[in-house]
């Protein structure tokens, strides 16, 4: 089975298909974003870590005058430039970029798939340390119980579980962590879209993550069996999200 190159146009196209067919992901994130932005002035600095094609970056730009958009992929940055032209685009990664100034609102939306699991805590702490004292970092990831996590496990790869961040934050009393869940799902009307999205989420894991990497035939058979209803011409699966809200702890003293 051939994997996507994350820097390719095909990967970007599959990502856009996921956004189009994931009926609840964007509204749930916008609702959470509205909550954490409520009452903040336009002068608030903000950042979208791993901005992708800019759907959330544009929402930040509608609220704040200064928005940093960190994105390593050149293909994604092309879409980002069109979606959020006023954002200050930064080519780099979570590990390589230090922001010019602390931010009051920070997003890390569905980015940790591209970070080794054992480094999630380190990445979250690094982003949180670039917040203002009243700032908040919103991290979003798929819920551990989803159809695509079940697919990963079926082929011998570990599922994603953002709840494990709690282990890291027990050692960081200078920060607080709040975890919430929101419903969601993927809904498709063509087998081609269903396959594209399933391939995209499968490739969140590297080939080395699988105890038994599926063949192309096994992958297609799994998608047809679990995610596609031929008789109805419809596909999809449950895809709820988990939100982690990280804030500086106002009661903490060295």
In the chain, the percentage of residues whose pLDDT exceeds 70 is 98
Distance CA 72, CA 26 (A): 21
Distance CA 213, CA 112 (A): 22
In the chain, the percentage of residues whose pLDDT exceeds 90 is 80
Residue-level pLDDT at 3: 72
Tell me the CA distances in angstroms from 83 to 44, 79, 87, 89, 92, one per residue in order: 20, 6, 9, 12, 19
Contact 246, 176 (CB under 8 A): yes
- The structure tokens 């298909």 sit at 17
Distance CA 237, CA 199 (A): 14
pLDDT over threshold 70, residue 110:
yes
Residue-level pLDDT at 15: 78
* Higher pLDDT among residues 12 and 222, named by residue: 222
Residue-level pLDDT at 223: 97
* Helix, strand and coil percent figures for the chain, each rounded to 5: 40, 25, 35
pLDDT digit string (tens) for 15-36? 788 878 876 777 889 999 999 9
Distance CA 234, CA 138 (A): 32
Contact 35, 59 (CB under 8 A): no
pLDDT over threshold 70, residue 130:
yes
Residue-level pLDDT at 51: 95
Contact 194, 223 (CB under 8 A): yes
Residue-level pLDDT at 254: 64
pLDDT digit string (tens) for 37-53? 999 999 999 999 999 98
Domains of the chain, each with CATH number or no CATH: 9-248 (3.40.50.150)
pLDDT over threshold 80, residue 4:
no
pLDDT over threshold 80, residue 107:
yes
The pLDDT of 221-244, averaged and rounded, is: 96
Contact 104, 33 (CB under 8 A): no
pLDDT over threshold 90, residue 8:
no
Strand stretches in 35-120, DSSP E:
45-49, 66-70, 88-90, 103-109
The pLDDT of 126-145, averaged and rounded, is: 97
Contact 89, 71 (CB under 8 A): yes
Residue-level pLDDT at 231: 96
pLDDT over threshold 90, residue 71:
yes
pLDDT over threshold 70, residue 55:
yes
Q: Which residues of 15-40 are buried (b: 16+ CB within 10 A; e: fewer)?
A: bbbbeebbebbbebbeebbeebbeeb
Backbone dihedral region for residue 25 (phi beyond 0: left; psi -120 to 50: alpha; all else: beta): alpha
Q: DSSP secondary-structure letter at 80?
A: H
Flag the least confident range among 37-46, 124-133, 195-204, 214-223: 195-204
The residue among 143, 160, 234 whose CA lies nearest residue 194 is 234
- Mean predicted lDDT score pLDDT of the chain: 93
Residue-level pLDDT at 224: 97
* Higher pLDDT among residues 55 and 246, named by residue: 246
* Higher pLDDT among residues 75 and 111, named by residue: 111
């Amino acid at each position: 089975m051939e994997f996507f190159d994350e820097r390719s146009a095909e990967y970007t196209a599959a990502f856009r298909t996921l956004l189009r067919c994931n009926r609840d992901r964007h509204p749930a994130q916008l609702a959470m974003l509205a909550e954490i932005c409520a009452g903040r002035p336009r002068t608030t600095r903000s950042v979208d870590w791993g901005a992708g094609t800019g759907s959330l970056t544009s929402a930040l730009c509608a609220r704040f005058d200064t928005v940093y958009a960190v994105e390593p992929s050149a293909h994604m940055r092309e879409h980002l430039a069109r979606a959020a032209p006023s954002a200050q685009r930064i080519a780099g990664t979570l590990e390589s970029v230090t922001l010019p100034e602390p931010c009051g609102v920070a997003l890390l939306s569905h980015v940790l798939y591209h970070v080794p699991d054992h480094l999630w805590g380190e990445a979250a702490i690094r982003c949180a340390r670039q917040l203002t004292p009243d700032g908040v970092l919103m991290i979003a990831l798929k819920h551990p119980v989803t159809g695509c996590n079940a697919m990963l496990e079926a082929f011998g790869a570990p599922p994603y579980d953002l709840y494990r961040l709690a282990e890291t934050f027990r050692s960081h009393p200078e920060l607080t962590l709040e975890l919430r869940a929101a419903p969601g799902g993927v809904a498709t009307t063509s087998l081609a879209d269903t396959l594209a999205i399933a391939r995209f989420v499968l490739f969140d894991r590297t080939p080395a993550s699988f105890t038994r990497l599926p063949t192309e035939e096994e992958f297609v058979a799994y998608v047809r069996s679990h995610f596609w209803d031929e008789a109805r011409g419809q596909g999809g699966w449950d895809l709820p999200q988990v939100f982690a809200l990280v804030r500086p702890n106002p009661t903490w003293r060295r």
